[in-house]
Structure 1
């Protein structure tokens, strides 16, 4: 949940949704209340009109008998239980009622209103609460008459309920439409950032060297600064490679001269002096190769866009070593459970594979197996051979610079030392174990890059 709130898109959409829902809810409440006030006033105005019409239609006989000249113009006072009722009564108790009452009583509240005064009251009607307008009418033959005319509250509530349901559906549709529009606006507005993220991912994976220039003005300055940073790093990397090459040339040329001098001393019979010079030259050469490889890896690790496809680096190494060790009938079998991309320079990755597989090929009797797989954010390459293997107590020794456990096997004791340093410089790990084939297992773990 916390990770979700780190997204600009989520924050903008949720913020817009909250404001939209809150605004429409407040608008809905206000509209509902305004409509309630309007409909209530409309019902009351109708009742006032009906009361005035009813008062004008009353006919009082000399003997005090009550009647109407004609029926009310509104037909809703005719059907039984229509919800519209009226009653006119004299002080003597004589009364006439609407047909909708169907002979039932409609008790008017006491005391009666003053002559010429109208009042609104709520009373119990035949089938629910009744909204009643009551007034007193002059009687030329005696005390004033009372009349009451009303409508059941349920009819008003039904009108309000239908309106509120329609209002809710309408506002819900508007809310969904506005939230959808907000999502579209956020998606469209943040699209340049998404494009920039993909461009940075391409740079990180080595598929591009710079960010595009055709970005909106709001993010173009950031892209320009990042491109300047990338170009500066590349320039530093080029200079480092050039200086490393110059240093290697400057050191290896004197070493070659010293080696030639050692051969001349051996030819003159000074065998011991020649061996000392050759031994020291070999040590210097190992140190130069080791330190140059390490310095190059450090420079590449700090530069953006360093990425390598495991299969593209592994297959050429396997093909070359298969031909090299074919005369000993040593086969190399590679299994790809995944094909990850790792955060290493391709040349360094090939050098790591070359050293590890060459070491496995030297000691294998007939078979070397390689397994490539991925778990979480790491790529794992497992190399097994069916050779004699190593005692577990010697695992750490083989990573020492110049360490060789068997002098009869060709080599300089430099491969695994370089392998571990290169792997660890790229935040990876290398471990040794007993292989199921009986020989040595080398486990290489590298940070993988997500596509």
Structure 2
């Protein structure tokens, strides 16, 4: 849930939805109350009109009986228990009532209202709670008559209920439409950020070197600043590479002179002194190669856009190793369980694979098998050989700088040490195990990048 609220899109949509629902809820309540007041007033006005009509139509016969000159104009007072009722009472107990009462009584309780005054009350009627209007009407001969005319509250509630249900459905449809419109607005408004995220992903995977700047004015300054940062970082890396190359050249030139001097000493018969110089020169050369490779990888790992395709990098290395060790009839094969790109500089990946495959080719009797597979957020490159293998207690020993288990095998004992350091700098790791072929298995695990 907490992760969900870190999304701008979720915040904007939920905020808009809450405001829409709250606004329409308040609007619906106000509309319902206004309609209720309007309908109630309409019912009261209608009762007032019927009461005025009834007051005109009622009369008293010479024998004291009450009668109507004609029926009320509203036919709803005729059906039984229609919800519309009237009753007229004389002080002497004489009364007449609407046919809708069907012999039942309409309670007119309490003292009669003053002449010319209407009283609005609620009473229990024949079919439920009744909204009643009472008034006193002067008779031609005798005391005033008391009349009451009422309507069931149920009828008013039914009108209000139908209106409220229609209002609820209408507001729900409006709310749904507004929320969908808000979602579309948020989606459209955040499209530049989505485009920027895809552009950054392309830079991270090495598919682009800069971000597009044809963005809205609110986002364009950010894209420009990021492009300036990328360009500055690339320039710094270019200078670092140049300086590393210059340093290597500056150091290796004196070493070459010392090596040449050692050969001259050996030719002059000073073999022991020449061997000492050659040994120290070789150690210095290994240290220079190791430290420069390590420094270069350390600088590159902080650079955005690092990406290398394993197949593209591995194929030429496999071809070179096949030619190099083909004279010993060592065959190299590769299988891809999945295509993978890794967050490693292509040149460094080539150096890592070259050292690993060269080491496997030197120890293999007839074959070296390579397999590539994807495992979650990592890519694994597995190299198996059919050589003599290693006892588990020697696994860590071979990663030491300058360590060699067999002096008869050509090399300087530098390859696997550089491999482990380079892989570690890029956030990966190297593991050794027994190979199914009988020799040694080396597993390179590197951070993968989604294509």
Q: Normalising by the residue count of structure 1, what TM-score does the alignment of the two structures yield? A: 0.96
Moved more, 277-286 or 324-333: 324-333
Moved more, 257-266 or 406-415: 257-266
What residue is the counterpart of 2:190 in the other structure? Answer: 190
Are 1:316 and 2:298 an aligned pair?
Answer: no
What residue is the counterpart of 1:409 in the other structure? Answer: 409
Superposition pairs of residues 7-156 of structure 1, within 5 angstroms:
7-156=7-156
Superposition pairs of residues 384-403 of structure 1, within 5 angstroms:
384-403=384-403
What residue is the counterpart of 1:175 in the other structure? Answer: 175
Give the C-alpha shift of residue 252 in structure 1: 1.8
Moved more, 309-318 or 180-189: 309-318
Aligned partners of 1:128 and 1:152 also within 8 Å: yes
- State how far apart, in whole Å, the 2-side matches of 1:315 and 1:111 are: 110
Q: Deviations over 1:106-143 (max 9, x none)?
A: 22222322222211111112221111111112223333
- State how far apart, in whole Å, the 1-side matches of 2:46 and 2:292 are: 100
- State how far apart, in whole Å, the 1-side matches of 2:95 and 2:381 are: 104
What residue is the counterpart of 1:296 in the other structure? Answer: 296
- State how far apart, in whole Å, the 2-side matches of 1:256 and 1:214 are: 54
Give the C-alpha shift of residue 32 in structure 1: 0.6
Q: Deviations over 1:222-249 (max 9, x none)?
A: 2221111111111111111111111122
Are 1:445 and 2:445 an aligned pair?
Answer: yes
What residue is the counterpart of 1:249 in the other structure? Answer: 249
- State how far apart, in whole Å, the 2-side matches of 1:434 and 1:363 are: 14
Give secondary structure in 2 for the equivalent of 1:113.
coil
- State how far apart, in whole Å, the 2-side matches of 1:126 and 1:314 are: 96
Give secondary structure in 1 for the equivalent of 2:448.
strand
Moved more, 94-103 or 321-330: 321-330
- State how far apart, in whole Å, the 2-side matches of 1:44 and 1:243 are: 97
Aligned partners of 2:59 and 2:139 also within 8 Å: no
Q: Deviations over 1:403-434 (max 9, x none)?
A: 00011111111110000110111111112122
Aligned partners of 1:64 and 1:141 also within 8 Å: no
Aligned partners of 2:387 and 2:438 also within 8 Å: yes
Change in CA separation of 1:115 and 1:346 when aligned onto 2, cut-off 3 Å: same
Give secondary structure in 2 for the equivalent of 1:149.
strand
- State how far apart, in whole Å, the 1-side matches of 2:411 and 2:52 are: 120
- Matched residues, number: 451
Superposition pairs of residues 339-378 of structure 1, within 5 angstroms:
339-378=339-378
- State how far apart, in whole Å, the 2-side matches of 1:330 and 1:71 are: 119
What residue is the counterpart of 2:421 in the other structure? Answer: 421
- State how far apart, in whole Å, the 1-side matches of 2:63 and 2:446 are: 114
Aligned partners of 1:310 and 1:339 also within 8 Å: yes
Give secondary structure in 1 for the equivalent of 2:402.
coil
Give secondary structure in 2 for the equivalent of 1:360.
helix
Listed as ranges, the gaps of 5+ residues in structure 1 are none
Q: Normalising by the residue count of structure 2, what TM-score does the alignment of the two structures yield? A: 0.96
Give the C-alpha shift of residue 370 in structure 1: 2.7
Change in CA separation of 1:95 and 1:367 when aligned onto 2, cut-off 3 Å: farther
Q: Deviations over 1:355-378 (max 9, x none)?
A: 112222222233333332333322
Give the C-alpha shift of residue 327 in structure 1: 4.0
